[in-house]
Amino acid sequence: MPRLPARWLLPALPLVFLALLLVAPVLRLLVEGLGGGEWTDGEPLRWLDVWQDDFLRWRVLWSLAQAAITCALALVLGLPVAWVLARLAFPGRSLVLRLLMLPFVVPTLVAALGVLALWGPRGLLGAPLAGVGIDLVDTPWLLLYGNLFFNLCVVVRAGVDALEQVSAPRVAAARTLGATPWRAFWRVEWPAIAPWLASALCLVFLYCFAGFGLALILGGQDYATVEVEIYTLVAHELALGQASVLAVWMLLLTGAVALAYAWLEKRLAAPGRVSPVARQRPRSAAQWAAVAGALAVLFVVCAAPLLAIVWRAAQALLGGQGAVVLFEADTRAALWNTLRFTAMALTLATALGLTHALAVRALDAASLQRHASEARGALALAWRAAAFLPFVVSPVTVAFGLLLLYPDWTASLALLVAAYALLAYPFVAKSLTAALDSLPASYAQAAATLGARPWRVLWRVTLPLVAPALRRGMAFAAATALGEFAVTLFLSRPEWTTLTTLIYQHLGRPGAANLDAALVLACVLMGLALAAFTLIEGPARKDNGTHA
């Protein structure tokens, strides 16, 4: 009997947090969007008016189109790269796999500055192109390239994992029966990896469709997305009714994609033991060319923007103008705000993620008992999926909902930090849940048999075993909080300027000196994110086996 209250009280903290910071604001947004109001011309606000307004319809359709185009490009470029990484063993392969995490760590605003440093009017490649009459500004290329920077690695990582689940005997049997390598891939490997890639592409679509920072900086006037339009309507036009309707449509569309993703994930049940195809060292010139091509794709899409921003920041510092911003009072204040907000959000996110993961384990254990009902199993599954909710709802929608629901709290530090933690804690929850799932129950049972109390078992047995997963989740959570931009624009006060908002302020001012200052600050922010990730996660572990 004493275990029952603890089991049901454990989810209380994250449940209340999600209810207050996510579910309630979304419901308030739905009420605002569906409850009436006026259009900009004074006409009554109707839910379907978005599709009758040429400008807003273009925003929605372009948001869908740029996400779909990014998915197609990521698949075309990412699948060959994944095949090379999964099938060929070459020097530096483990390092390449580890560096695939970089786009997840780099803040969105830094990535946008990296794209401008490479392809912008004064960029390393953009300036020579502008000299021959090719101007990439106000074209969709910059936004699509920025989307690829973040999402190519999602497809590559999913492809590598999927290809390592392909049965080697089936491939060998196809080759023995006379199938060419291409036919063996198409008839044997592709059906096995297609669900994995479809799942990854759902995530890519969600990230691009609900993206804000990249679209705000790189989209311009013609190619901004719905998220940028919502921010513009709220911050500059105070058209809350229109913004609410757009946000409702965003929720419906992202919810549909999220349901497709959940259905695909359900189909991807834990695979049985397979004999994966062994990696081989490249032998022919064609195989070495494939390795070179894969590395070139990753360099051009994922590494070049980061190197460009470092190069431009170094030029600004050596030139003398960029160094001035490092010693300004606004920079010191923004750095202090960034660090303290991140520390507070990381502490709260860790507590939420830990309790969420432990609640999942407790509910799973309850659902496996002999007389457990189907309702308990459904509850355990629902609570496991609840960690994905902050990923489904975009930061702009979250911030707008909080603005509507808690108008008296919008300038409070508590709400700002809580919003940061809401976006960061799923990383901790997901990482810990996966680690606890793989942890044998016999360890805790043995400790309990020796007289250890539940909290002592947690402290002395469970936490040390899942510490690497906890550190990894905290590293991603810290990187998310450091680079958070959308929530800060909605809920921050002028004296709470962070590095992201300070960079945006410099970008909004004319002159080369402000651009140089933004590049230097972006380089500082990137260094902070990489340092936080490296320090929290710890050193890289060696790849001991043949397969990653």
Interval 141-162: pLDDT, tens: 899 999 999 899 989 988 898 8
Asked whether residue 410 falls in the same domain as residue 447, the answer is yes
Among residues 485, 465, 202, the alpha carbon closest in space to that of 334 is found at: 485
Residue with the larger pLDDT of the pair 36 and 533: 533
- The range of the structural domain enclosing residue 140 comes to 47-291
Predicted confidence at residue 264, as pLDDT, reads 65
Asked whether residue 236 falls in the same domain as residue 373, the answer is no
Separation in Å, CA 189 to CA 93, 286, 380:
22, 21, 34
Percent of the chain residues topping a pLDDT of 70: 82
| Residue at 505 is within a domain | yes
| Residue at 308 is within a domain | no
Domain total in the chain? 2
Asked whether residue 346 falls in the same domain as residue 439, the answer is yes
Mean pLDDT within 206-222: 85
Confidence label for 260 from pLDDT (cuts 50, 70 and 90): confident
Asked whether residue 14 falls in the same domain as residue 133, the answer is no
Residue ranges of the alpha helices (H) in 93-225?
93-99, 102-105, 108-119, 126-131, 141-163, 168-176, 181-184, 190-209, 213-218
Asked whether residue 438 falls in the same domain as residue 342, the answer is yes
Asked whether residue 246 falls in the same domain as residue 388, the answer is no
Asked whether residue 16 falls in the same domain as residue 72, the answer is no
Residue with the larger pLDDT of the pair 158 and 168: 158
Predicted confidence at residue 439, as pLDDT, reads 67
Predicted confidence at residue 256, as pLDDT, reads 78
| Residue at 306 is within a domain | no
Asked whether residue 252 falls in the same domain as residue 371, the answer is no
Among residues 409, 399, 360, 412, the alpha carbon closest in space to that of 381 is found at: 360
Would the pLDDT of 438 be above 90?
no
